[in-house]
Amino acid sequence: MKLVKTLGATVALMSFVGAAQAQDSGIYGNIGVEGLDFEGTSGNIVGRFGYDFANSGSDFGKYFAVEGEGAVGVIDDNDDFKIDYRIAGYGRLKAPIGENVEVFGRVGYYYIDTDIGSVDDVAFGGGFEYFFNPSKKNSVRLDYTNLNGDGGSADVYSITYGRRF
C-alpha cells in the first residue's frame, strides 16, 4: 500500500509535466551515483526525470520544478544493510547564484525497500547544479537528501550528470 501511495504522489507531480510540456520543453533527466548512509552504506545508481517550469511565463514558475527519482542498490559495505530500490517524488525550489550555477531545496515523499524492511515518509534536502554552458543543456548536480522514517533517518549524497531536452 505504501508503494501505491508513493507511486500515486509521483504520478500526480509528474502530471504537471504533460500540461506544461505544451508550452515549452522544460523536461530534464539526471543519471549518476549516490551513497545512502543508514545502518551501513549502500552505493546506488540513481536516475531522475523532471520538469522545470523556468520558461512557463509565471514569476513563481521560474523558480520551481517537479521531479521523480528512482535508485537501485548495487554496492553494500556489509551484510547487514542493502537497498533493493528507492522511489520518490519531489517539488524543487531553485535560485540562480551565477550565470551557470543554481542552488535548490527540495521536499517530497519516498518509498524504500531494503533487505531489512521497507519504509516511506517525507524526504527533504538541497544542493547545487553547475551548467557547462549558458544554454543550460548539460550539467553536473550535487545533492544531499535526508530520508525520515519510523526507524530513524538516512542521509543520501549524490552526484549526477544532467541533460535538459
Segment-wise mean pLDDT, segments of 10 residues, the chain, 165 residues: 44 43 72 88 93 82 94 78 90 94 97 86 96 92 91 90 95
Provide the CB-side half-sphere exposure for 132 (13 A, CA): 8
The pLDDT of residue 77 is: 66
The CATH number that domain 2-164 falls under is 2.40.160.20
Distance of CA 47 to the CA centre of its chain: 8
pTM of the model: 0.81
Phi, psi torsion values for 12, nearest 5 degrees: -60, -45
Rounded to whole angstroms, how far apart are CA atoms 4 and 17? 20
The pLDDT of residue 148 is: 87
